Chains A and B, each alone.
Chain A
Amino acid sequence: MEDIKNTLRAFIIDKFEIGDDPDFADDVHLFNEGFVDSFGAVEIIHFVEEHYGIKITQRDITLYPMNTVDEISEVVYEKIS
């Protein structure tokens, strides 16, 4: 689980040029807090799908909140374990 979070966090920080913003954290709402725009959401999902060889379905999207590093990692963790 920690591995997933580390990988995902590193991807997001790099991809969306977050740098060392002190407000950024694993439980922060990526979209509401303005770290990632709506187009970035797709990139995050594509990244975890390719990196972990999993498929996030429309059901996953509608059933689970996937707005924070914690929440997205949770879904990925369920899929690979």
Chain B
Amino acid sequence: MDLFMNSAVCLLERAAEKFCNKTAFEDMDSKLSFTELRARSRALASGILSRVKTGREYPIIIHLPKSVDSIVAFMGVLYTGSPYAPVEYTIAPVRMETITANLKPSMIITDAEGKESLSKLALDTEIAVLEELTGGSDDAAVNDALYKVCDLDGAYIMHTSGSTGVPKGVTISNRGVIDYASWIKAAFDINENDIIGLNSPFHFDNSIFDVYTTLYTGAKTLIIPEKLFMYPDKLMEYVAEKEVSVIFWVPTVMISVANSGALDAVELPKLKNILFAGEVMPCKQLNIWRKKLPDSAYTNLYGPTETNVCTYYKVDREFSDSDSLPIGKACENMRVLILNEDNKRCGIGEPGELCISTSGRSLEYWNAPDISSRVFVQNPLNTKYHDKIYRTGDLVYEAEDGNIMFMGRRDNQIKLRGNRIELGDLENAAAQLDGVLSACALFDKVRQEIVLFVETDKEIAPRKYRMSLWDFVPGYMVPARVVTMAKFPHTASGKIDRVGLRKAYIEGDS
């Protein structure tokens, strides 16, 4: 009898039958087979079910280091019918409190060290240690909870930075996850003999690719130690030694590997499938990869957290270093619209906003109907029935050959290592710091880093501002450089002279 696919965790149920004792996930310290993962996740689910309310309205926050334990936690929560919400292990206290207040989770699952640090915060929910939740497995209770899941229920919630400073909880349905995994299986040549080298942290939706590709295809996901991403040459040494065959990395990492010359020092005969998404991949660095590994398949994926991957382009021709890589065409079972300012469909070559229509991927933002209603709207081209589209805020145009070309943002949002950042958020956070009179954040496109300017009358070392910011914003928003000054330059109208600051400290310096 075939298994009914009402929950994303059914992919694990199926994989455990099919791939049994084959390794599914491996980190530095341990590995888990499909059977072990299923058993541990069911045991965890039993523990959760016996303690708290579960189901689609009761999310559970996962606060764990990047390890196979995180996967156990995700699957365990899915078995209960609750959505899981991964947050960074180094999460800023204010961000943790804000997210928890909005989600009102049934519990937070963490480790002993995490429990100690989280206990100091105002969280008003149960904080449980993973090991302590895992006892005997009550399969009847788990099966009953799983039976009650409907594929439109949320599977996971990922948080992005919001322009108001309140993180938005993007909620993705079980249907969305299953649909995405089956698309990956159909679009790429990945099977149980593959080894996927995981780059992204679990609170970043790129990692959904690795986790669910493993569950769908039987390929192993190898969780690459975070530290290695600081050392491109050692990273590639590791990829070669571990015989990684599939990578789905952010362009920032692809670029630093290419620029460091790390590809020249290793042989990578196994690395066959190279995918990237999260920000623009420059052709200059892509060409360095293609020259070194001409037989590998390269794919540029595009998709905001709200819909996950929605367009893709399999690199099928030569590009010069200065060309822009297309983001391609809509994924199967996805519809992409390019709308102009009058909500009319754009013609070939005409710039417009990329909008996405999809069966079940996004359930909008958790507990935020007002913000949701601004970007999840009725498809203006369909007057016949309820048909929501997501407005990405990304400007694109369709080229002659039908491929979509990315142009930029409609707003001030920037992308850094795949993370969406509103510079205004960072300025607001910096303004709260001791000694800061005024703050201004600028993005250095060449160096791909944020520079924070601080107006202050105190003698405080710039790096101290960087450290203090860790308490307020996610690590990826902490500026690479801080420049302090007694007085900001101002324009004639009295605004901070951002152009002047950029000229003096960013462009003049590179």
Q: Which residues of A contact B (CB under 8 A)?
A: 21, 32-35, 37-38, 41-42, 45, 56-58, 61-62
The reply to whether B463 and A58 contact each other, CB–CB distance below 8 Å, is no
- Closest CB of chain B to A21's CB: distance in Å? 7
Q: Which of B215-235 contact A (CB under 8 A)?
A: 225, 227-228, 230-235
Contact with B231, one of A32, A34, A45 (Cβ below 8 angstroms): A45
The reply to whether A62 and B238 contact each other, CB–CB distance below 8 Å, is yes
The reply to whether A62 and B28 contact each other, CB–CB distance below 8 Å, is yes
Q: A61-B227, A62-B225 are in contact. Are A42 and B232 (CB under 8 A)?
A: yes
- Closest CB of chain B to A79's CB: distance in Å? 15
Give complex CA distance A34, B231 in Å.
18
The reply to whether B230 and A34 contact each other, CB–CB distance below 8 Å, is no
16 interchain pairs, CB-CB under 8 A: A34-B463, A37-B480, A42-B260, A45-B231, A45-B234, A58-B228, A58-B231, A58-B234, A58-B235, A58-B237, A58-B238, A61-B227, A61-B228, A62-B28, A62-B225, A62-B228
Q: Which residues of B contact A62 (CB under 8 A)?
A: 28, 225, 227-228, 238
- Closest CB of chain B to A5's CB: distance in Å? 21
Give complex CA distance A32, B225 in Å.
17
Q: Which residues of A contact B480 (CB under 8 A)?
A: 37
The reply to whether A41 and B234 contact each other, CB–CB distance below 8 Å, is no
If A58-B235, A62-B28, A62-B225 are given as contacts, then 14 extra A-B residue pairs at C-beta distance below 8 Å, sorted by A number, are: A21-B461, A33-B463, A37-B480, A41-B230, A42-B230, A42-B233, A45-B231, A56-B234, A57-B234, A58-B231, A58-B234, A58-B241, A61-B228, A62-B227
Q: A42-B231, A42-B232, A58-B228 are in contact. Are A34 and B237 (CB under 8 A)?
A: no
- Chain A residue, CB-CB nearest to B482: A34
Give complex CA distance A56, B238 in Å.
12
- Closest CB of chain B to A19's CB: distance in Å? 9
The reply to whether A61 and B234 contact each other, CB–CB distance below 8 Å, is yes
Q: Which residues of B contact A21 (CB under 8 A)?
A: 461
Q: Which residues of A contact B225 (CB under 8 A)?
A: 61-62
Chain B interface extent, by class: 20 to 34
- Chain A residue, CB-CB nearest to B90: A32
The reply to whether B227 and A34 contact each other, CB–CB distance below 8 Å, is no
The reply to whether A34 and B232 contact each other, CB–CB distance below 8 Å, is no
Q: Which residues of B contact A61 (CB under 8 A)?
A: 225, 227-228, 231, 234
- Chain B residue, CB-CB nearest to A49: B233
Give complex CA distance A61, B228 in Å.
7
Interface string of B160-175 (1 = CB under 8 A from A): 0000000000000000
Q: 4 smallest A-B Cβ distances: which pairs?
A: A34-B463, A58-B234, A58-B238, A58-B237
Give complex CA distance A56, B228 in Å.
12
- Closest CB of chain A to B380's CB: distance in Å? 44
Q: Which of B256-283 contact A (CB under 8 A)?
A: 260
- Closest CB of chain B to A55's CB: distance in Å? 10
Give complex CA distance A45, B230 in Å.
11
- Chain B residue, CB-CB nearest to A41: B230
The reply to whether B241 and A34 contact each other, CB–CB distance below 8 Å, is no
Give complex CA distance A61, B226 in Å.
10
Give complex CA distance A8, B464 in Å.
23
B284 within 8 A of A: no
- Closest CB of chain B to A45's CB: distance in Å? 6
Contact with B467, one of A33, A37, A45, A58 (Cβ below 8 angstroms): A33
Give complex CA distance A58, B463 in Å.
29
B466 within 8 A of A: yes
Give complex CA distance A56, B230 in Å.
13
Centre residue among B28, B260, B461 by max chain A CB count within 10 A:
B461
- Chain A residue, CB-CB nearest to B447: A39
- Closest CB of chain A to B88's CB: distance in Å? 15
Q: Which residues of A contact B230 (CB under 8 A)?
A: 38, 41-42
Q: Which residues of A contact B238 (CB under 8 A)?
A: 58, 62
Give complex CA distance A33, B461 in Å.
12
